[in-house]
Amino acid sequence: MKLNKLNRLIIILLSFILLINLNNKTIFAEDEINNNKVVYLTFDDGPAKKITEDILDILKNEKVHATFFLIGEQIKGQEDLVKRLYNEGHSIGLHSMSHKKNNLYSSNEHFLKEMLETQELINSVIGIKPNILRFPFGCNNTSYHLCKPMVDLLHENNLRIYDWNVDSGDGANHLANPSTFIKNSRSDKDKVILLMHCSYISKNSVKALPQIIKYYKDKDYEFKTITDETPEQYHITK
């Protein structure tokens, strides 16, 4: 009788230990995923009415969030869309007022002026002043190469710079087959900042997006938005 009780006690104890070990392994695996594999979906050149709306619908359906770098001149008349972006938990960044190389890169001061104007416009719509920005055409393009004085000027104005490290290719060739964007967007980097677009001509980007999201979900990436606490992404070339 006493032996049976002892055996039952041992079995219960062993089962408890096994359960703890299994739980610990599960938690450890989740921690590894969350800490090591992150993807930031980013969309430039919005807002753009139906294209941006379709992207938002997909993100909502997939239960993931993204970062949108907005052009100031396109916000006018689309304030409700900007409000939807913000209310649905997406991050909003600055992408200049004009998106025109000749204006933007005529001087560091003019670049800053366009970013601050866009910041004030967004603030008038949703009541916040975004301080994350992306250089139109990237920090280093055919018209401009990032230099330390520009970085210093932006930092002095509490602005933070976010280029990308994976390019879907939808900006260079928006008419390419969606399968091309899907292929280009795949990466095994621990931290992926993926460049996509939500402009008026980005119809094929919308078609590619669900499969891009599926790829990173299948690879156990955590989807995050860029905030002012996200480590910056840029490269000074001169």
Nearest to 119 by CA among 133, 136, 107: 133
Q: Judge whether 229 and 236 are in contact, CB under 8 Å.
A: no
Q: Which amino acid is at 104?
A: L
CA–CA distances in Å: residue 101 to residues 21, 105, 111, 114, 182? 58, 6, 10, 12, 28
Pick the catalytic residue from 90, 95, 99, 197.
Answer: 197
Tell me, yes or no, if 197 is annotated catalytic: yes
Nearest to 68 by CA among 30, 86, 48, 42: 42
Pick the catalytic residue from 44, 45, 54, 170.
Answer: 44
CA–CA distances in Å: residue 181 to residues 158, 187, 212, 214, 225? 33, 12, 8, 13, 21
CA–CA distances in Å: residue 226 to residues 11, 28, 40, 52, 164? 50, 25, 7, 18, 11
Q: Which residues are catalytic?
A: 44, 197
